Amino acid sequence: MKVSTLAPAKINWTLEVLGRRPDGYHEVRTVLQTVDLCDRVRVSPAADLELVLAGPIGQAGAPLNAMPSSENLAYRAAALLRDRAGGRSLGARIELEKAIPAGAGLGGGSSDAAATLRALDRLWGLSLPPAELARLGARLGADVPFFLFGGTALGRGRGDEVTPLADVASRRFLLVVPRRRPARKTAAMYAHLRPEHFSGGEASERLAAAISRGVAPSEDDILNTFEVIVAEMLPEAAAAAERCQGLGLRPHLAGSGPAQFVLLPPDVESAPLREAAAAAGFDVFEAVTMAASAATAVVEEP
């Protein structure tokens, strides 16, 4: 048997940083959303854990195979779940097909980890509760628990305390991704924030409450604390935003960047916009919001 599941990218409708926590991390409030730009994870029985990578690029543009398997979040997720199951004899071949640009703020590595946990839970017949998988995922990264729920959700704490929300109405996006993406930039972005950049998280809480009432997010709901420092910290993101604005678009920073996302009105033809952004030297993807059921579906293959 082979088990397959998608590992979707995400955007943040909101990303607010409230301040530094006693444990050294930052407290955040964020409303997250899965979108249908996806990696794919397939797992099958094997004598030990092995990771097979496919796709053009890996972390920050490096060749995929340049990263040792032991540093890959999908492999680490598999090892963690095997330890939790107490089964040193458990093995799996993990095939990871990459489509999400790495190091862009779209959550690809965290989503791969969540997908691996989800797929191996099925392959190994563990049937762990979602909350238990989320606790394991939080040990790998703050975004991993969200990807175990998918859809639309409110994140608190480090972002790892996840409250699922109702799926929002389908929306189209353009994702505009600089081809040069600095490695290990998330910690640097957080370190660069100052007290005047912090907020109380009210905007995220208000948006979560509105979504729970069936109100879809609008342009005016979108905010990201990192926007205030993006020009000095991520010139690649600033250039992408400037290009989008030059095309008459309203760009928003994806996570900690440098990718930008742009909401597309239903009647707008996207091809000319994609072509113009690509001609300016950016990778461009069209995507739509992805409901929780689609983002977390697991399929058994013969």
Residues present in the chain in total:
302
| 236 sits in which H/E element | helix 235-246
Could you count the other beta carbons within 10 Å of the beta carbon of residue 96? 23
Answer yes or no: are the C-beta atoms of 278 and 272 closer than 8 Å.
no
Provide the token pair at 288: 């739509």
Give the SS3 label for residue 299: strand
Answer yes or no: are the C-beta atoms of 179 and 103 closer than 8 Å.
no
Provide the token pair at 11: 């955007």
Amino acid sitting at position 290: M
Pick the catalytic residue from 36, 39, 112, 143: 143
CA proximity to 287, closest of 264, 268, 267: 264
Q: What is the CA radius of gyration of the chain?
A: 19
Query: Active-site residue 2, yes or no?
Result: no
Pick the catalytic residue from 10, 36, 121, 185: 10
Pure H helices in 124-229: 130-138, 144-149, 185-192, 202-212
- Give one DSSP letter per residue of 78-109, joined into a string: HHHHHHHHT-TT--EEEEEE--SPTTSSS-HH
Cis peptide before 258 (omega within 30 of 0): yes
Query: Active-site residue 98, yes or no?
Result: no
Could you give the CA distance from residue 58 to residue 146 in angstroms, rounded to a whole number? 22
Amino acid sitting at position 248: G
Give the torsion through C-alpha atoms of 170, 173, 179, 184, to 10 deg: -50
Could you count the other beta carbons within 10 Å of the beta carbon of residue 125? 7
Amino acid sitting at position 146: F
What positions carry a catalytic annotation?
10, 143
